[in-house]
Chains A and B, each alone.
Chain A
Amino acid sequence: MNILDILPPSAIKVPLESGDKKGAIDELVELLAETGRITQPDNLRKVIWERELQRTTGIGEGLAIPHGKSNSSRNLVIAIGRPAQPIDFGSIDNKPVKLIVLLASPPEKTSDHIQALGKISRLMADPKFRAAAYAAPSADALYRLFERAEASAEVRR
């Protein structure tokens, strides 16, 4: 899977306006709706929040990957936001979150959904990539980071 296939530059927002967890999730869902990639944002917000209540998706080291399955889109979609200031996400390691990668897919595309979760996690597990992503000054810079990462992954393949 190539992240760039599902991540247009318009799905990245730097910085996010909101300073809290709920606001940031809402903002990314809104971004997806504004760019026409999902319908029924309310439904998506609800399922993402339900998952968040089950267990925080702030998986530590400043990264959060909120996700949910809903009929808001016909395919897997991703939105990425970097908050202006690190925000409290109730993360596993209690550290504030510096990058939020929001993922949504229709209920029947479970496989894509989970592959994307794995892919994002693997990518972000690289400390160098992570540091660069957290420091990205603009949406454009963040997009280029993903571009480069996918390109070097392509070379290795």
Chain B
Amino acid sequence: MILAQTVHEPTATAVLTAIFGLLMAVSVLFSRALERLGVPIVLLFLGLGMAAGSQGIGGIEFEDYHFAFRIGTIALALILFDGGLNTTVESIKHGIAPASVLATVGVAGTAGLMAFGAHRWVGLSWQEALLLGAIVSSTDAATVFSVLRGSRLNLQRRVGVTLELESGLNDPLAVILTMAMTESLAPGGQPIGWSIVWLVPMQLLIGASVGISLGWLGVQLLRRLRLQAGGLYAVFTLGLALGAFGLATLIHGSGFLAVYAAAIVMGNSAIPYRSGLTRIHDAIAWLGQITMFLMMGLLVFPLDLVRLPGVIYSLALAIFLATVARPVVVWLCLLPFGYSVREMTYIGWVGLRGAVPIILATIPVMENVPNAIAYFNIVFFVVVINAIMPGASLRWLTRWLKLDVAEPPTPAAVLEINSTQLLRGEIHSFFIDESLAVANVKLAKIPFPQGAAVILMVRDQQLLAARGDTVLLPGDHVYVFCHEEDRPYIELLFGRPQAD
């Protein structure tokens, strides 16, 4: 970064922290407004980054692709870790088969179709076109999670699960393809060989194995660890996430898949300090998203983006991806799974792109592939269009295709209770609905195990003391204290704990 080299310390650091601090804070302040519009919040960060950049009002010069790649990769790994922690085994069972096909055949198909478009209309060579196709071939976990969960849509389970799992699983193949194509185009590089046919499954297999093993190991250690400071638990899981990524990548596996798999294993196991951990990782994932998109915004040159004729090509390819390539591939992939026309239309349209293609686009730039900067700009367009179009139309489309579920979504917890020390026992919150055994029951009648109890309730805007004669009504939020070993029984009575 130019700034850091020309100004003396500590001024340089102070300037950097001030700028990034303000950008981060402003991004968060604006997030609520954008959420209502359905525009992925992450695009706001991208826009702010561009505004702060060398051609914007901020005038910050930043052109370090290596640095951007490194930070982007770490951020994405941590976002995937958070996504994995929140992916339930049930949702995996529902969606793993179609999502896996989308994440492999779908990615390859999208890359192929995009390459066809780029070769035919932009006049790139097949190799160059395939590189471009590979870069934009995967949907983005950060964007999908934030759009689907942030918009508070109550999407039909199967559709939501398929989209989320796909986005978590499809980065590895896009990365592998991009690396291979870059290698074949870079000066002095090797042409792409048949080895890719077995290299891809190998990478996925190694990545999944490393992730599952480390996730399992992490669970065993967490259960035995007795740490004084609660914050250290998060340091441990953070370390595990980064370690899984690095280790898997070092032994030629997919690091992204490893991180995701490790998090799924941990998120679905009984671990201590769970609510604290998920909250911390949620914060880390947000920080990762903001940093990543701000930085990507700084990295592009907006004035170069809109230069003719590049802008026409970029726009055409972006729209081709959204309206032809993605839908066609999704239909072909999902037909064998008995999805309805409405479901396939929806999943085909919601091919949200995000930071992954932008990170991937830095790879050819770093490897000095000819014209790499031009691809970078095309990719940027493809991403922005394929985030805004599906994002902004999501609500409308969900209703039009009748894919929203009638009942209201489970409201998030309304009260947070944190402990400053690690305590044995945890507090879980539950939303009482009519189907639960405890609905319309007096608290005194509930057979609690020793050392478990409802401690507090929220009804409408009112905090209620948990007294024996209080009747639990549908719509209440209740806070239950219990020990880890009693949790299955508590869930039998109270249903699914609310998201932390």
Contact = CB atoms under 8 A, between A and B. Distances in A.
Contacts of A51: 435-437, 495
B299 to A, nearest CB: 43
Given A67-B437, A115-B445, A54 B93 contact: no
Interface string A48-87: 0011001111011000010111000000000000000000
Interface in B434-493: 435-442, 445-447, 487-489, 491-493
A129 to B, nearest CB: 16
Contacts of A119: 447
B496 interface: yes
Given A55-B491, A55-B496, A121-B489, A111 B436 contact: no
Chain A CB count within 10 A is highest, among B437, B447, B491, B493, for: B437
A114 B495 contact: no
Given A90-B89, A111-B445, A54 B437 contact: no
B486 to A, nearest CB: 10
B450 to A, nearest CB: 11
Chain B CB count within 10 A is highest, among A47, A51, A68, for: A51
Contact of A118 (B90, B268, B447, B496): B447
Interface residues of B, number: 25
Interface in B411-443: 433, 435-442
Interface in A104-157: 107, 110-111, 113-115, 117-119, 121-122
A7 B314 CA distance: 70
A60 B491 CA distance: 11
Contacts of B437: 51, 67, 69, 110, 113-114, 117
Nearest to A111: B445
Contacts of B268: 94
Contacts of A4: none
B495 A55 contact: yes
A127 to B, nearest CB: 13
A6 interface: no
A54 B435 contact: yes
Contacts of A113: 437
Nearest to B497: A55
Nearest to B94: A90
A117 B493 contact: yes
Contacts of A60: 488
A72 B394 CA distance: 41
A149 to B, nearest CB: 17
B493 A114 contact: yes
A64 B487 CA distance: 14
A60 B492 CA distance: 10
A49 B282 CA distance: 32
Contacts of A92: 487-488, 491
Contacts of A114: 437-438, 441, 445-447, 493
Interface in B317-350: none
A60 B436 CA distance: 18
Contacts of A115: 445, 447
Given A54-B436, A68-B435, A90-B89, A59 B441 contact: no
A50 to B, nearest CB: 5
Contacts of B492: 57, 59, 65, 117, 121
B441 A111 contact: yes
A93 B269 CA distance: 7
Contacts of B270: 93
Contacts of B447: 114-115, 117-119, 122
Contacts of A93: 270, 488
Contacts of A57: 492
A65 B110 CA distance: 45
B445 A54 contact: no
A122 B89 CA distance: 26
A115 B446 CA distance: 7
Chain B CB count within 10 A is highest, among A60, A92, A110, for: A110
Chain B CB count within 10 A is highest, among A51, A54, A57, A69, for: A54
A36 to B, nearest CB: 25
Contacts of B487: 92
A14 to B, nearest CB: 23
The 3 closest A-B pairs by CB, nearest first: A118-B447, A55-B496, A59-B488
Interface of A: 47, 50-51, 54-57, 59-60, 65, 67-69, 88, 90, 92-94, 107, 110-111, 113-115, 117-119, 121-122
Given A114-B437, A119-B447, 12 more contacts: A51-B436, A56-B90, A59-B489, A65-B492, A69-B435, A92-B491, A110-B441, A114-B447, A114-B493, A115-B447, A118-B446, A121-B492
25 contacts: A51-B495, A54-B433, A54-B495, A54-B496, A55-B495, A59-B488, A59-B489, A59-B491, A59-B492, A69-B435, A69-B439, A90-B93, A93-B270, A94-B89, A110-B440, A111-B445, A114-B438, A114-B445, A114-B446, A114-B447, A114-B493, A117-B492, A121-B489, A121-B492, A122-B447
